[in-house]
Structure 1
Amino acid sequence: MSKVITAAQIAAYAQETQAQPAAAVLAGAVQKNGIYAASYNHTSTSALDPTFSVEVDTGAVSNQKHSGRCWLFAALNMLRHEFAKTHQVKDFELSQNYDSFYDRLEKANWFYEQIIASADLPKTDRKVAKLLAAPDDDGGQWSYAVALTQKYGVVPKSVMPETTSSEATTQYSNVLNTKLRKDAIALRQMIHEGAGAAAVDAKKQEFLAEVYRITAYAFGEPPKEFTYQYRDDKQEFHTIHTTPQEFLKNEFKQDLGDYVCFASDPQSDKSYNTLYTVDTQGNVVGGTPMRLLNVAPDRLKALCVQLLQDNTPIWFGCDVTENMDRVAGTLYGNLYDTDNLFGIQVNRDKALRLDTGQGMVSHAMTLTGVDLVGGQPTKWKVENSWGDKNGHKGYFTMDDAWFDAYVYEAVIPTKYMTAAETEAWHGEAHVLPAWDALD
């Protein structure tokens, strides 16, 4: 068996390529316009008309700018729409920067604790390598938002507005992660040399004080109490003086802790109606744990339809990198027909994509509408957090095939759960490795 590519084989490859129907035309189209433009499925334009039979009343979209805080934006969107409606303040927005500050501080503490707990493992161990690869980034899970809001509350955006560093987190993350990796080696060294728990904790507190300083310089210091003044849509003046925790408790009826994160992962190593968690995954020590209740895809979809019919927006996790036209705001199951363009067949199976690392939960958004035909969903309205220059004033339209292929998680209020799902949710979670596809 030949292990090297020979000149004869290259000649055969070239001959086979030139023999493809319309090879020269297709090559010219790709070279001139790029792969996606050459394979664009224009059927999506008419199929994804942004009109829906079921819609939740929402306002202007938010903008996460150059940051990975989509999970937090999507969670706070669920709360802000409630406040806008009950207090009659159109386009009200909560401060993502406020909760982001505490997210990065808490993640540093989480990282230190994970490093201390794994100090007996070599640096080359897969778990330790995973920790060191991304000590503290701005990505996250639904449970992260729950843990943060339950501990720290929320504030209006005007109380703690964005900064250059909170909107574009790359520089901050580079500085912080360089420090955290250095700190991790120091903590491991202390433990290996026999330092006691008290000494290790004292060093960790010293490190956390430095993390606080870096974050305060970059994001600003969060308020312990604040005064929020506003005029409602009737131009009536209001003043609220409170703390972030009391603001959440008194001004919002929703309890994010009353939601369960449902997943639909068809991989063979996972079962439906089973509770999972991911090793090392979390942000707040002692806070809401990261847990996923895996259910059949039809169940997940039916719940999403039911919530929207009940006028409830839905946080969901998906892989937005697949079959997406950012400018048009299109999420279409076969948006780029690269198979026919190149005469190939790529991986379309959801389980196999997850098995091989092709599939991932790369983004979180909010479902705010669905179009039902004969009781069945055909397309979905999606509130994104990329500003109003994309899609239809920031809203995207997703066809049902895209939902089937690329939606992996959605949060559901506990009152919608069956008895069996409730029992599973309160049971012992199966621990998945840190590198699992649901990470």
Structure 2
Amino acid sequence: MGKSISFDQIAAYKQDLAKTPGSSALAKAVQNVGPLAASRDILGKSALSPVFSDEISTDAVTNQKQSGRCWLFSELNTMRHVTSAKFGIKDLEFSQAFNAFYDRLEKSNLFLQHIIESADKPITDRTVAAYLADPNGDGGQYDNAAALIAKYGVVPKSVMPETYHSSRTGALNATLTLKLRKDAIELRKAIADGATDEEVEALKQSQLSTIYRILAYAYGEPAQKFDFEYRDKDNNYHIDRDLTPKTFYEKYIGWNLDDYVTLASTPEAGKEYYQPYHMPSQDTVVGGRPVTFVNVPQKDLEAMAIAQIKSGETVWFGNDVSENSDRKSGTLEGNLYDLSALFNTNMTLSKGDRFATRQAEVTHAMVLTGVDLVDGQPTKWKVENSWGKENGHDGYFVADEQWFTDYAYEVVIKKSLLSPEIKAALDKDAIDLPIWDSLR
């Protein structure tokens, strides 16, 4: 049993507070505006002006609103700019709701399968508990988006627009979580009572049919065939009839998604550089593209991102936007908040320790559309966010090099641009990571 705090110790704490320079003024600042605002650096520095040596022309930003679909928005954003330029369609946007519908259905299927396969374990088992903790959130990885697109295709946003629930997913998340936890109990009970494999599968399919109905109410049913109408930059009218989501993807996007690979950079103990890793718990499209990444040093991650921007293609990247950022001004600055100075104590952790303690998280995905190079070295990055044009510079953010080094954890790069060492790493067997890994 640990020792309790004595009143003598509290008296010592009070004395230490009283001796700390500026405590009275700092306390007022923190109490009035909070620790972040009280410790924030000056905004609007000339070093973070939205001008870049290498920049890709892009359209108006999108808005994910109150949803966790940044990973999906970011992947569709990398594609829409290419299609927009190729066909002369200004501010083209693909339907995020279309792919989100199938994402929630696929996640439900994977969750129920996990429950069936782990039915012999106690409900308190760490893995089972992790499944039940988050049966069907709306977050995801790049590979999840790629798997959904490969299986289901893409449609224009005009074909399947946003609904109340697609852009405000909190209530839907809660509904699906309740439904799937109830389904999990039913499946575990059926298996414990000796149900055959066929009976278990029939129960699962009945549960998925109900999930489909819930999703259809929330999103609307995805279109199977549609006409695509648009006017090009010269105001010429076009109509393309009887398209399916797959034929639309093939004609208007046409990327081979197998040409791309995710690179991550974490110095966390136990993760080797130039080694592929696999997160089987995140393979939400069963039988589809697995969620994998190659761990590389930070210098390689940045070099590959620069190479792709210079080639004229934007870069999907996973990051921790919750750290050292100011949403309204669109500022991502490595030392934007100085909590160490504010509280007169060292509040810093190394990048490896941040991953080891779960302080480091991939909380968001955005798109790199530009970089400012001085003597060949990056000083700042242009970032396309999906929080609407009211934030940042018409929705675009600026990240300084320190922020990118500290909080940009993943980039998706075309294989043809990879260095020989990274290409060689792709031939290695991927190491499976547990569901609770820090990069999930």
If the length of structure 1 is used for normalisation, what is the TM-score?
Answer: 0.98
- Within the alignment, does 1:289 sit opposite 2:290 as a pair? yes
Q: Which residue of 1 aligns with 2:250?
A: 249
Q: Which residue of 2 aligns with 1:156?
A: 156
- What is the CA distance between 1:2 and its match in structure 2? 8.2
- Within the alignment, does 1:335 sit opposite 2:336 as a pair? yes
Q: Which residue of 2 aligns with 1:218?
A: 218
Q: Which residue of 2 aligns with 1:195?
A: 195
- What is the CA distance between 1:415 and its match in structure 2? 0.7
Cα offsets for 1:328-352 (capped at 9, x unmatched): 1011000001111110111331110
Q: Superposition pairs for residues 168-207 of structure 1, below 5 Å?
A: 168-207=168-207
Q: Secondary structure at the match of 1:280?
A: helix
Q: Secondary structure at the match of 2:290?
A: coil
- Within the alignment, does 1:361 sit opposite 2:369 as a pair? no
Q: Secondary structure at the match of 2:281?
A: coil
Q: Which residue of 2 aligns with 1:413?
A: 414
Cα offsets for 1:257-292 (capped at 9, x unmatched): 321011111111100000101242221110100111
Letter in 2 for 1:381: K
Identity value in percent = 49
Instruction: Check conservation: 1:225, 1:243, Cα contact below 8 A.
Output: yes
- Alignment partners' CA distance in 2, 1:19 and 1:2: 28
Where do 4+ consecutive residues of structure 1 move more than 6 Å? none
Gaps of 5+ in 1: none
RMSD across aligned positions (CA): 1.3
Letter in 2 for 1:120: D
If the length of structure 2 is used for normalisation, what is the TM-score?
Answer: 0.97
Cα offsets for 1:61-102 (capped at 9, x unmatched): 000000000000000001110111001111100000000000
Q: Which residue of 2 aligns with 1:11?
A: 11
- Alignment partners' CA distance in 1, 2:2 and 2:208: 57
Cα offsets for 1:407-437 (capped at 9, x unmatched): 1110011112234433432432101111010
- Alignment partners' CA distance in 2, 1:225 and 1:43: 49
Instruction: Check conservation: 1:112, 1:204, Cα contact below 8 A.
Output: yes
Q: Which residue of 1 aligns with 2:399?
A: 398
Instruction: Check conservation: 2:43, 2:331, Cα contact below 8 A.
Output: no
Q: Secondary structure at the match of 2:106?
A: helix
- Alignment partners' CA distance in 2, 1:109 and 1:435: 20
- Alignment partners' CA distance in 1, 2:177 and 2:193: 24
Q: Which residue of 2 aligns with 1:134?
A: 134
Instruction: Check conservation: 2:329, 2:392, Cα contact below 8 A.
Output: yes
Q: Secondary structure at the match of 1:106?
A: helix
- Within the alignment, does 1:67 sit opposite 2:67 as a pair? yes
Letter in 2 for 1:351: G
Gaps of 5+ in 2: none
Q: Which residue of 1 aligns with 2:96?
A: 96
Moved more, 13-22 or 360-369: 13-22
Letter in 2 for 1:289: P
- What is the CA distance between 1:44 and its match in structure 2? 6.0
Instruction: Check conservation: 2:228, 2:239, Cα contact below 8 A.
Output: yes
Moved more, 250-259 or 71-80: 250-259
- Within the alignment, does 1:344 sit opposite 2:345 as a pair? yes
The number of residue pairs the alignment matches comes to 439
Q: Which residue of 1 aligns with 2:27?
A: 27
- What is the CA distance between 1:386 and its match in structure 2? 0.4
Q: Which residue of 2 aligns with 1:166?
A: 166
Q: Which residue of 2 aligns with 1:48?
A: 48
Task: From the superposition, tell whether residues 2 and 278 of structure 1 become closer, same or farther in structure 2 (CA, over 3 Å).
Answer: closer
- Alignment partners' CA distance in 1, 2:217 and 2:2: 59
- Alignment partners' CA distance in 2, 1:122 and 1:300: 41
Q: Secondary structure at the match of 1:364?
A: strand
Q: Secondary structure at the match of 1:227?
A: strand
Instruction: Check conservation: 2:317, 2:367, Cα contact below 8 A.
Output: yes
Task: From the superposition, tell whether residues 219 and 43 of structure 1 become closer, same or farther in structure 2 (CA, over 3 Å).
Answer: closer
Instruction: Check conservation: 1:347, 1:353, Cα contact below 8 A.
Output: no
Instruction: Check conservation: 1:324, 1:330, Cα contact below 8 A.
Output: yes
- Alignment partners' CA distance in 2, 1:195 and 1:311: 56
Letter in 2 for 1:276: Y
Cα offsets for 1:292-323 (capped at 9, x unmatched): 11111110011111111111100000111100
- Alignment partners' CA distance in 2, 1:44 and 1:295: 33
Task: From the superposition, tell whether residues 29 and 299 of structure 1 become closer, same or farther in structure 2 (CA, over 3 Å).
Answer: same
Instruction: Check conservation: 1:317, 1:365, Cα contact below 8 A.
Output: yes
Q: Secondary structure at the match of 1:187?
A: helix
Instruction: Check conservation: 1:51, 1:371, Cα contact below 8 A.
Output: yes
- Within the alignment, does 1:428 sit opposite 2:429 as a pair? yes
- Alignment partners' CA distance in 1, 2:392 and 2:265: 27
- What is the CA distance between 1:43 and its match in structure 2? 6.4
- Alignment partners' CA distance in 2, 1:249 and 1:429: 30
Instruction: Check conservation: 1:44, 1:332, Cα contact below 8 A.
Output: no
Q: Secondary structure at the match of 2:282?
A: coil
- Alignment partners' CA distance in 2, 1:347 and 1:40: 15
Moved more, 67-76 or 117-126: 117-126
Instruction: Check conservation: 1:44, 1:335, Cα contact below 8 A.
Output: no
Letter in 2 for 1:125: D
Instruction: Check conservation: 2:280, 2:291, Cα contact below 8 A.
Output: no
Letter in 2 for 1:32: N
